Amino acid sequence: MPRRTSLEAPLVIVMVGLPARGKTYTAQRLERFLVWRGYKARVFNVGNTRRELFGAQVPHSFFDVDNPEGYAARRKAARSTLEQLLDWCEEGGQVAIYDATNTTKRRRAWVKEACEAQGLQVLWFEIVCNDPDLIDTNIRASKLSNPDYAGLEPDDAVADFRARIAHYEDVYETVEDHEGSHIRMHDLGKRIELGDIHGYLPGKLVSLAMNLHTVPRPIFLSRHGQSEDNRRELLGGDSPITDKGRVYAAQLASWFQDRELGEIQVWTSTLQRTLQTAAPLRPQPISVKALDEIDAGVCEGMTYAEIEETMPDAFKARRNDKLRYRYPQGESYEDVIERLEPVLFELERQQEPVLVVAHQAVLRALYAYFSNQPRETTPYISIPLHTLIQLTPRAYGCDESRFVLGPEVGHGGNSA
- Residues carrying an active site annotation: 99, 129, 224, 293
Residue 136 pLDDT > 50, yes or no?
Answer: yes
Measure the CA–CA gap between 306 and 373, rounded to whole angstroms. Answer: 31
Written out in words, the top-level CATH class of the domain with range 219-404 is: alpha beta
Tell me if the domain spanning 11-209 has CATH number 3.40.50.300. Answer: yes
pLDDT-derived band at 132 (thresholds 50, 70, 90) equals confident
414 has a pLDDT exceeding 70? no
Give the residue-averaged pLDDT of 81-93.
97
Percent above pLDDT 70 for the chain: 95
Q: Where are the domains of the chain?
A: 11-209, 219-404
pLDDT over threshold 80, residue 8: no
How many CA atoms within 13 Å lie on the side-chain side of 394? 12
What are the pLDDT digits (tens) for 160-193? 889 999 999 999 999 999 999 999 999 877 889 9
The answer to which of 151-155, 266-270, 297-301 has the lowest mean pLDDT is 151-155
Phi, psi of 400 (to 5 degrees): -135, 140
Position 412 pLDDT exceeds 60 = no
**Is-cis flag, bond preceding 312, omega within 30?**
no
H-type alpha helices, 91-131: 105-117
- The DSSP bridge partners found for residue 36 are none
User: CB–CB of 135/129 below 8 Å?
Assistant: yes
Distance CA 129, CA 134 (A): 8
pTM of the model: 0.90
What is the pLDDT at residue 416? 64
Per-residue pLDDT, 7: 55
Residues 6 or more apart whose Cβ sits within 8 Å of residue 125: 13, 14, 15, 16, 26, 27, 30, 182, 183, 185, 205, 209
Say if residue 144's pLDDT is above 80.
no
* Mean of per-residue pLDDT scores for the chain: 92
Q: Contact, 268 vs 287, CB < 8 A? A: yes
Contact indicator for 323, 332 with CB cutoff of 8 Å: yes
Per residue in 236-271, pLDDT (tens digit) is 999 999 999 999 999 999 999 999 888 899 999 999
pLDDT in tens, 115-131: 999 999 999 999 999 88
